[in-house]
């Protein structure tokens, strides 16, 4: 079997899909994307495809080595995401060629269902209680929300109180048997994050995500040591080498993104690395159906898996949602807040190719908001 063709599709709301076709008619799908930089990743995929066309698709690890290392310059979000999507497509092909779901090729399932959480509150969190109630009524046992929207570099007393109030509102609806996770989105300074974490502790968040930006990793060990709330991070880390110091800092939850951190091949390794540090895995996935399908394959096979993000109804999904490009939506039919294990070969999703080709003709130009502080200076989004 040889790879004949690699295509990419820029589809709303903000995604990029790739389709890898073989001379035997087996087709694999992947989702190589950096949100807001999809066109740039598309160009990187085109360059990598020059190498892949004509190759045996089943030599996944060798292709991963070549794609990540043979260009001399390595890593970063664009290249790692391009490799990630292609790697997903190669695993999809391998599963279809061997007649097995990807998790069977990764050592077999260690669980039969995967707990997923739903987003509430949007970019500027508000009306939390109503939204949490809607998600619990839909069966979810966990939600995640942003701690705050645009925030002063050193959160004021009022801003801090509002953060605590919103999480308290979520906790009141959830009760003690469901969970709320809080995403800081790197919007806080280290000192600001430390103060807010202490105040949130009595509300028992499942975890606090990205309390610091990746570039503040030097003070991460101190923050983790001071935080009574489990710390999660990883959506802006692109491989094992970047996870190593973070795990050494003692984070509780590693959040590699299947579409950013080198795909199924690398996230499988990151999961094992995290296990050595007693950290659990919660793959980042505010993305589309192929990224989620890849995440679930890891979730079914990783012993230290905690919970899975998914984008159904997320505030980013305008003009298309998680189910828009699927022939069969059953894999993402969540029951009691869980995705059930599928046994279909490959990634386990059937992509609606006509819908994808039609959507690509319109494309998208999604960019994240640009926020500024009251004095006009740049503010983290
Ligand atoms: Mg996040």
* Residues 339-356: tens digit of each pLDDT: 999 999 999 999 999 999
Q: Is 319 a catalytic residue?
A: no
What is the assigned CATH class of domain 3-100? alpha beta
Q: Is the pLDDT of residue 373 over 90?
A: yes
Q: Which of 103, 260, 268, 284 is flagged as catalytic?
A: 284
Distance 235 CA to ligand 1 centre (A): 7
Distance CA 240, CA 80 (A): 12
DSSP 8-class letter at 282: -
Q: 131-149: per-residue pLDDT in tens?
A: 999 999 999 999 999 999 9
Q: Is 216 a catalytic residue?
A: no
Q: 245-282: per-residue pLDDT in tens?
A: 999 999 999 999 999 999 999 999 999 999 999 999 99
Q: Kindly report, as residue ranges, where domains of CATH 3.20.20.120 are found in the chain.
A: 104-347
Q: Is the pLDDT of residue 15 over 90?
A: yes
Q: Is the pLDDT of residue 283 over 90?
A: yes
Tokens standing for 90?
């190669």
Distance 109 CA to ligand 1 centre (A): 27
Cβ contact 8:362 at 8 Å: no
Distance CA 294, CA 259 (A): 9
Q: Kindly report, as residue ranges, where domains of CATH 3.30.390.10 are found in the chain.
A: 3-100
Q: Are strands 308-309 and 113-119 parallel, antiparallel or unpaired?
A: parallel
Distance 346 CA to ligand 1 centre (A): 27
Distance 259 CA to ligand 1 centre (A): 14
CATH: 3.40.50.300, 3.20.20.120, 3.20.20.70, 3.40.50.720. Which one for 104-347?
Answer: 3.20.20.120
- Average pLDDT of 12-30? 98
Distance CA 211, CA 380 (A): 12
Q: Which of 63, 103, 185, 364 is flagged as catalytic?
A: 185
């Amino acid at each position: 079997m040889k790879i004949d063709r690699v295509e990419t599709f820029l589809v709303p709301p903000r995604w990029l899909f790739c389709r890898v076709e073989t001379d035997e008619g087996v087709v694999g799908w992947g989702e190589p994307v950096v949100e807001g930089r999809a066109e740039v990743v598309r160009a990187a995929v085109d360059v990598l495809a020059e190498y892949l066309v004509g190759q045996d698709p089943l030599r996944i690890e060798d292709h991963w080595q070549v794609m990540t290392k043979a260009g001399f310059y390595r890593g970063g979000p664009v290249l790692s995401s391009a490799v990630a999507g292609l790697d997903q497509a190669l695993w999809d092909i391998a599963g279809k060629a061997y007649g097995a779901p990807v998790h069977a090729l990764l050592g077999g399932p260690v669980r039969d269902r995967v707990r997923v959480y739903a987003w509430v509150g949007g970019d500027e969190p508000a009306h939390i209680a109503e939204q949490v109630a809607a998600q619990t009524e839909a069966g979810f046992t966990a939600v995640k929300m942003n701690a705050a929207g645009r925030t002063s570099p050193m959160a004021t007393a009022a801003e801090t109180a509002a953060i605590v109030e919103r999480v308290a509102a979520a906790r009141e609806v959830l009760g003690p048997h469901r969970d709320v996770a809080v995403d800081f989105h790197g919007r806080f300074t280290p000192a600001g994050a430390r103060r807010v974490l202490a105040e949130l502790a009595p509300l028992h968040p499942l975890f606090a995500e990205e309390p610091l930006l990746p570039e503040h990793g030097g003070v991460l060990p101190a923050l983790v040591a001071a935080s009574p709330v489990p710390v999660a991070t990883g959506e802006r880390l692109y491989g094992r080498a970047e996870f190593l110091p973070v795990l050494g800092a003692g984070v509780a939850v590693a959040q590699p993104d299947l579409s950013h951190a080198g795909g199924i091949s690398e996230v499988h390794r990151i999961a094992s690395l995290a296990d050595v540090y007693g950290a659990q895995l919660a793959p980042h996935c505010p993305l589309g159906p192929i990224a989620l399908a890849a995440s679930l394959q890891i979730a079914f096979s990783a012993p230290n898996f905690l919970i899975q993000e998914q984008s159904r109804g997320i505030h980013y999904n305008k003009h298309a949602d998680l189910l828009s490009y699927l022939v069969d939506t059953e894999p993402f039919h969540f029951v009691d807040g869980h995705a059930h294990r599928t046994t279909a070969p490959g990634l386990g999703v059937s992509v609606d190719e006509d819908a994808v080709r039609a959507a690509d003709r319109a494309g998208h130009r999604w960019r994240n908001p640009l926020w500024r502080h009251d004095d006009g200076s740049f503010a983290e989004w």
